[in-house]
Amino acid sequence: MSRRVKAILQLNLNRISMKTSEALDKQETIIYSKAQNNLQARRLRMCLRCQDKNLPCTGPNGIFGCSFCAAVQSKCRWLDLEKIMERKLAEEATRQTQEHIASTDAYLKEQFPQQFPEAVAKADT
């Protein structure tokens, strides 16, 4: 083969490989941008709790909650759970305080009946 034919073939081969390389780069860029868009779209659907903790969010149920954290509308279940626990602790503390007051009253009425005449009157009847 002549040098001219070899040069033309080499030039065509270079063009083909360059076009292939460009096409692959373009395809890679498209795939990467689609992946980025999917990630951003998925992140937009995530509730803030899942975004902060990088948890596997399973879909939107408002900004502060998703079906992963068993949210209801815009409240996250974990926030509600904390409030429920606080309320239960407060109720338990109130109940224990009332029991303590009742037992203290009973003790004082037994020990000092003259200070509590209504207790003595009830005991007499």
Q: Where are the domains of the chain?
A: 1-45
Q: Which residue has the tokens 């009946």?
A: 113
pTM: 0.33
- The span from the CA of 114 to the CA of 104, in Å, is 16
First to last CA, the chain: 132
Q: Decide if pLDDT at 74 tops 50.
A: no
DSSP states along 60-102: BSSTT-BTTTT-BTTB-HHHHHHHHHHHHHHHHHHHHHHHHHH
Residue 9 belongs to what H/E stretch? Answer: helix 3-45
- The span from the CA of 110 to the CA of 119, in Å, is 9
What is the residue-averaged pLDDT of the chain?
Answer: 67
- The span from the CA of 16 to the CA of 19, in Å, is 5
**Residue 72 pLDDT class (50, 70, 90 cuts):** very low
The share of the chain scoring above pLDDT 70, in percent, equals 44
**Residue 88 pLDDT class (50, 70, 90 cuts):** confident
15: tokens are: 């063009």
38-42, 47-51, 91-95, 114-118: which is most confident: 91-95
Q: Decide if pLDDT at 107 tops 60.
A: yes
**Residue 103 pLDDT class (50, 70, 90 cuts):** confident
19: tokens are: 């076009």
Which tens digits make up the pLDDT trace of 3-59?
877 777 777 777 777 777 777 677 777 766 766 666 555 555 555 556 566 555 555
